[in-house]
Structure 1
Amino acid sequence: MKKIMAILALGLALTGCKKEHAKSAELVEPAAFYTAVKQDGVQVIDVRTPEEYNSGHIANAVNIDINENDFAQRLDSLDKDKAVYVYCRSGGRSAKAVDMLKAKSFTNIIELNGGIEAWQKAEKPVEN
C-alpha cells in the first residue's frame, strides 16, 4: 500500500510540474498573436535591434534589444502580473528572451512562432 501511495504522489508531483511549465510560456501562431495584441494594455516586446524595429514592427511593441547589456534590467520594467508578448525576426532571440523572462519569474509569456517573418507572411500589419 505504501508503494502505491508513493507512486501516486510521485505521479501527481510530476504532472503538477508539467502543468506549471506549460502555463509559463506559450508559442502561438500569428493569427492568435494578432488577436491578443490588439487588446488594450498588453505588453508587447520586440527584442530585435533598433534598426530592425524601425524597419517595421507590431503596433504598440516596445523595443528592448536582447543584445544590449541592460536587456535583463529593462525586463524589470515590465509588469509580472500581466501577459508579456514577445517576438523577434524568426524566433531565435525571442526564445532566449522567454528563458530570461522565466528566470525573472514571469508566468504568462506568449511568444510569436516564427517571429515577424511569419507575421508578415501571414499578412498582418506592421508599423514603421
Structure 2
Amino acid sequence: MLDFTKSSAPAFQNLTPAQFAEGRQQPGAVLLDVRRPDEFAAGHLPGAFNLDVTASDFGPRVAALDKTRPTYVYCRSGARSASAAGQLATAGFAQVANLLGGVLDWPGALTTK
C-alpha cells in the first residue's frame, strides 16, 4: 500500500526575495542562476554564476560543485529554479534555497558584469 503522508522528494527551501537576499549573504554561499546564457547576459543578480538547467551537461556540472556550501538558486519566475533545486537536493546538496518569483519579483538591481 502506498503511503502518501511521507514525501520521498529531497527537501529544499522556497524563500521570498527578502529571505533569499538575507540568506545568500552567509559566508560560503553559492548563488546559482539556472537560466539560459542569453538571459543571464541580459541581467543577473550580482555575484551569481550561470548553469543552464535545460542544458544537457547540467547534471555533470552540478556534480562538480561543493555540496556542503549553501546554494541559492534562481531563474526568471521560479519554475526552472525549483526544478534545479530539486535536482541539487537529490544530488546530495546539504542546503538548497529557491527564489520564489525569480528575478521577476527581485526588488534589487540586476547586473550585466
Report the TM-score when normalising by structure 1. Answer: 0.76
Give the aligned residue type for 2:97: I
Q: Extract unaligned runs of 5+ from structure 1.
A: 1-13
Verify the 8 A CA contact 2:28 2:69 in the aligned structure 1. Answer: no
- How far did 1:41 drift? 2.7
Q: CA RMSD in A?
A: 2.0
Verify the 8 A CA contact 1:43 1:78 in the aligned structure 2. Answer: no
Q: 2:24 and 2:109 mapped to 1: Cα distance? A: 12
Identity of aligned residues (%): 36
After alignment, is 68-77 or 30-39 more displaced? 30-39
Which SS does the other structure have where 1:81 is aligned? coil
Could you say which structure has the larger radius of gyration? 1
Which SS does the other structure have where 2:73 is aligned? strand
| Structure 1 match to 2:31 | 44
Q: Extract unaligned runs of 5+ from structure 2.
A: none
Which SS does the other structure have where 1:125 is aligned? coil
Off by >4 Å, runs of 4+ in structure 1:
none
Residue number among 92, 97, 111 corresponding to 2:84 in the alignment: 97
Verify the 8 A CA contact 2:12 2:86 in the aligned structure 1. Answer: no
Tell me the matched-pair count: 108
Verify the 8 A CA contact 2:29 2:70 in the aligned structure 1. Answer: yes
